[in-house]
Structure 1
Amino acid sequence: MSRAARLLDLMELLRRHRHPVPGATLAAQLGISLRSLYRDIATLQAQGAQIEGEAGLGYVLKPGFTLPPLMFSADEVEALVLGSRWVAGRADDEVLAAAARHALAKISAVLPAGLRHEMDSTALLVGPGEPLPRLDQVLARLRAAMRQECKVRLHYRDLKGRSSERVVWPFALGFFDQARVLVAWCELRGERRSFRCDQIEGLEVLEQRYPQRRQVLLKAWREAEGIAAQ
């Protein structure tokens, strides 16, 4: 195994754990000596990885780290380009679309020349879709509420024209070809409900956080619906 591949494996191991992992455990899983592990951790730290800890105490990777320049396969590059192009062209959320374009530019900047050519010349294109209502502000505020795990007060009109006001716990957004759908726990109904975002007539992000973690709500919904984790 090349050292670059080993560094990538070390990063993946650290990502799986939220609490410090003993160096001996990491070294055993990678099949290397403790001395090599310490050198690898020092290398990743020098490249910007926020790995905290020390010998005898264990190591943990702080969230939010951006990967250093690492090798992608041609298939992985095409998947990244295709997914980012879909978001940039079809997300109907300019903040998210701009983030996709910026992410592609950052990936391109750190790729080796050969893979950069693969990225620039990929023939996988995103076809045009049906025009959807612009929902920039609605989607941006919902995404912010989900990140902060805050309750949201919705002013909603369903497909039959009935209006209602309800407080929900937003935990997922579905991007479909014909609609954008919010999945949330509805306090009014006392159960999980789905809401078409183009039917939301107004919303207020409340300061109050909902009592369960978003990941717990998402996992329970996936299990109930038989949806595999992505």
Structure 2
Amino acid sequence: MLLTAWCQECLASDKFLEDFMRRADRLLQIVQLLRRHRGPVTGDVMAEELEVSVRTLYRDIVSLQSTGVPIRGEAGVGYVLDEGYDLPPLMFNSDELEAVMMGLRHVQVRGDEQLIRTASDVIAKIAAVLSPEARDEFIEAPLYAPDFGVEPIPTARIELKDVRQAIRGQNKLRLTYEDAQGEMSERLIWPLSLTFFAQSRMIVAWCELRKDFRAFRTDRVTHMEVLEDRYRENRVTLRDRWWKLELARREKEAAEKAAKEGLPVATS
């Protein structure tokens, strides 16, 4: 489907097979690039990533649109791929298969119980739709994420699947939380993300008590209640705001440390 608009012009070329495969791969890359972005992507940005001219990029987009790929937008403004459009599940190269498997193996080692089971299900689903050769390459991918020498993650006293569901639904959480000094407090939070570190798991959230972003270790939450009440502000917007503040905080700490040690300060 993605290639029919180009087949006739390519047949006239002496380098038919080489040119065909190069452009076929590029057309697929365009679709994948658009799928990665939530908003419009300009032709300049896409052309730079694909290492082609803007003119070539625009021609490829027209070819994709003519074959029914739902790309909306125009030159100078940006392009988006309509939600719901999907590529056949067989379009994986070796690097992509290894990247997927490494990520899933990491989840199998460091995820919560439900995510560990889900990772195994995902492996089975992907393997079921691959060609025999690709399936073997996927299952036998020589990349691993062992936890040798890593201290066990403290056991959470709450169900992490409930936290993940609350994040997806933007449900508020009521927590009883014990800090590092053993002090207990009641918190009403807006959960934004669940972060899996090597030795701990953190709920990143907006805390109504502190009126600021906070991170809560799951092993220090002694009680949790998922509320029907939902926070209205977009979760992704809040998360992005937190991340910018977190990056600024880290840069400030790094600069202060460098100044104390007499080292040059790196700036972003």
Report the TM-score, using the length of structure 1 for normalisation. 0.75
Of 92, 96, 111, the match for 2:115: 96
Q: Distance in 2 between matches of 1:156 and 1:130?
A: 23
Q: Distance in 1 between matches of 2:25 and 2:212?
A: 48
Identity of matched residues, % = 36
Is 2:114–2:161's contact at 8 Å kept on the other side of the alignment?
yes
How many residues align? The count is 207
The one-letter code matched in structure 1 to 2:219 is: D
Q: Distance in 2 between matches of 1:147 and 1:182?
A: 13
Is 1:154–1:166's contact at 8 Å kept on the other side of the alignment?
yes
Kindly report the root-mean-square deviation, in angstroms, between the aligned alpha carbons of the 2 structures: 3.1
* 1:105 alignment partner in structure 2: 124
Is 1:15–1:61's contact at 8 Å kept on the other side of the alignment?
no
The one-letter code matched in structure 2 to 1:171 is: L
Is 2:201–2:217's contact at 8 Å kept on the other side of the alignment?
yes
Q: Distance in 1 between matches of 2:157 and 2:183?
A: 24
SS at match of 2:195: strand
* 1:209 alignment partner in structure 2: 230
* 1:69 alignment partner in structure 2: 89
SS at match of 1:226: helix
* 2:193 alignment partner in structure 1: 172
Of 211, 218, 221, the match for 2:239: 218
SS at match of 1:85: helix
* 1:195 alignment partner in structure 2: 216
Q: Distance in 1 between matches of 2:192 and 2:203?
A: 8
Is 2:174–2:227's contact at 8 Å kept on the other side of the alignment?
yes
Closer/same/farther in 2, CA of residues 97 and 136 from structure 1, 3 Å limit? farther
The one-letter code matched in structure 2 to 1:126 is: A
* 1:124 alignment partner in structure 2: 143
SS at match of 1:170: strand
* 1:138 alignment partner in structure 2: 159
* 1:31 alignment partner in structure 2: 59
> Please, which moves more after superposition, 30-39 or 103-112?
30-39
Report the TM-score, using the length of structure 2 for normalisation. 0.66
* 2:176 alignment partner in structure 1: 155
Q: Distance in 2 between matches of 1:161 and 1:9?
A: 53
Query: In the TM superposition, what whole-angstrom CA distance separates every residue of 1:4-45 from its partner, at most 9, and x where no partner exists?
Result: 6524523543663569xxxxxxxx85524857624243xxxx
SS at match of 1:161: coil
Closer/same/farther in 2, CA of residues 168 and 33 from structure 1, 3 Å limit? closer
Structure 1 gap ranges (5+)? 20-27, 42-50
Query: In the TM superposition, what whole-angstrom CA distance separates every residue of 1:190-229 from its partner, at most 9, and x where no partner exists?
Result: 11111100000111111111131111111111111118xx
TM-aligned CA deviation for residue 163 of structure 1? 0.8
SS at match of 1:122: coil
